[in-house]
Amino acid sequence: MAAVSAALVKELRDRTGLGMMECKKALVAANADIEVAIEELRKSSGMKAAKKAGRTAAEGTIIIRVADDSSYGVLVEINSETDFASRDEGFISFANKVADVVFATKETDMAKVISGEMLEAREALVQKIGENITPRRAVIIEGGLVGGYLHGNGQIAVLTQLEGGDAELAKDVSMHVAAVAPRVVRGEDMPAEALEKEEEIVRAQPDMAGKPAEIVDKMIVGRMKKFLAENSLTEQPFVKNPEIKVGQLVKDAGATVTSFIRLEVGEGIEVAEVDFAAEVAAQLKG
C-alpha cells in the first residue's frame, strides 16, 4: 500500500473541491494514485471532471513558427529544470535556434534536430547554466491555412489548421483552444475509449441507482451529449464572444476547422517530490 502524503491530499482537494477526509479516503482506496482517485470520486459523487494538476511537471518554453503564407507551422518545446533557467538569455536563444532548424527542415525527430552543431550548443548551454536542457518535442501542421497563438512566456502554444478563412481567424481560434483546451474538433472525433470511459463514470453515478434501464439510458444519452459539447471545439462558446459558438464563428467566415495542436510546457512529465530537509540530512549523515 503506497503512502498517502498530506501534499497529495491537498492536491486532490485543490483539484476537486471536496473535503480533506473524503480526499484522503479516496487516495487510500486508490493506493495513492490521484488520477484513479479522481475517477472513482466522479463515479461516487457525480462531480464534474477535476481540474488539471496545479503545477506543471517541468519548466521551459514553447516556440512557435508560422510560414508567411500560412501554409504550415511548427511548435517546439524545450525543457529546463527550473523556471529561472528558462528565462536565461542563452536558453531562449538556444530554443529559438532549435525552432529555426525545425521550421526550415520540417524535421520533428529531436534526435536528428539536436546533432552536430546543435548538440554542441546544447552541451555548452548545460555547462553554462548547470541544468539539464531537454529539447523535448516538435510538431508540425501543414496544408490549408495555418495560424497560431502563443500564451504568456511560451507556456501554452496552439496551431490551428483551417480550410478557408484567414490568419486572424486562425489566431482567434488558437487563442480559444489555448484558453479552453478542447479535446477534439467535433464530437465525432472523440476516441471510442474516451467515450467508453466517460459512459462508465456516468453510469456509476449515484443518481442512476434504482432507476429503470430505459430511464438510465436516456440520462446517459443526455450527459454524453453534454460531455461531447463541452469537449468539442466547434460546440464551445467562443471565449471572445460567448454569444456565438466557435463552429458558427468559423462558418460565418466561410471556413472550417480541420485540426489543431495544443502544447503546454511540461504536460505529461512526472517529477518526483524531493524532501530537501531529508536529503540534506542524509548527505550530512553520509
pLDDT digits (tens, 9 = 90+) for 213-243: 888 889 989 999 999 999 999 999 999 999 9
Asked if the model's pLDDT at residue 275 lies above 50, the reply is no
Using CB atoms within 10 Å of the CB of residue 280, give its burial: 0 to 12 exposed, 13 to 18 middle, 19+ buried. Answer: exposed
Q: φ, ψ for residue 147 (rounded to 5)?
A: -135, 165
pTM score: 0.74
Confidence at 57, pLDDT banded by 50, 70, 90: very low
Cβ–Cβ < 8 Å for 50, 10:
no
Cβ–Cβ < 8 Å for 260, 177:
yes
- Please tell me the total count of domains within the chain: 2
- Alpha-carbon distance of 276 to 264, in angstroms, equals 27
Cβ–Cβ < 8 Å for 70, 56:
no
In the sheet with 145-151, reading across from the earlier edge strand, the strands are 145-151, 156-163, 256-264
- Give the rounded percent of residues in the chain with a pLDDT score beyond 70: 89
Closest CA to 118 of 136, 89, 95: 95
Q: According to the model, what pLDDT value does residue 173 have?
A: 98
Asked if the model's pLDDT at residue 256 lies above 80, the reply is yes
- Alpha-carbon distance of 35 to 27, in angstroms, equals 9
Write out pLDDT tens, residues 72-129: 999 999 999 888 888 999 999 999 999 999 999 999 999 999 989 999 999 899 888 8
Q: Which residue has the cell 493506493?
A: 31
43 and 128 belong to one structural domain? no
Q: Which segments of the chain are extended strands (E)?
A: 59-66, 72-80, 134-142, 145-151, 156-163, 237-238, 241-245, 256-264
We report the CATH number of the domain holding residue 25 as 1.10.8.10
Look at residue 25 and give its three-state secondary structure.
helix
The answer to whether residue 235 sits within a structural domain is: no
26 and 90 belong to one structural domain? no
Domain-ending residue, one of 118, 146, 179: 179
- Alpha-carbon distance of 196 to 209, in angstroms, equals 19
Mean pLDDT value across the chain? 87
The answer to whether residue 153 sits within a structural domain is: yes
Write out pLDDT tens, residues 174-204: 999 999 999 999 999 999 999 999 988 888 8
Domain-ending residue, one of 179, 212, 239: 179
Domain that holds residue 124: 59-159+174-179
Closest CA to 182 of 110, 253, 262, 104: 262
Q: Which residue has the cell 482537494?
A: 13
Confidence at 53, pLDDT banded by 50, 70, 90: very low
39 and 67 belong to one structural domain? no
- Alpha-carbon distance of 61 to 157, in angstroms, equals 9
65 and 117 belong to one structural domain? yes
Q: According to the model, what pLDDT value does residue 48 have?
A: 59
Using CB atoms within 10 Å of the CB of residue 253, give its burial: 0 to 12 exposed, 13 to 18 middle, 19+ buried. Answer: middle
The answer to whether residue 216 sits within a structural domain is: no
Alpha helices in 46-109 (DSSP H): 83-86, 89-105
Q: According to the model, what pLDDT value does residue 277 have?
A: 52
We report the CATH number of the domain holding residue 116 as 3.30.479.20
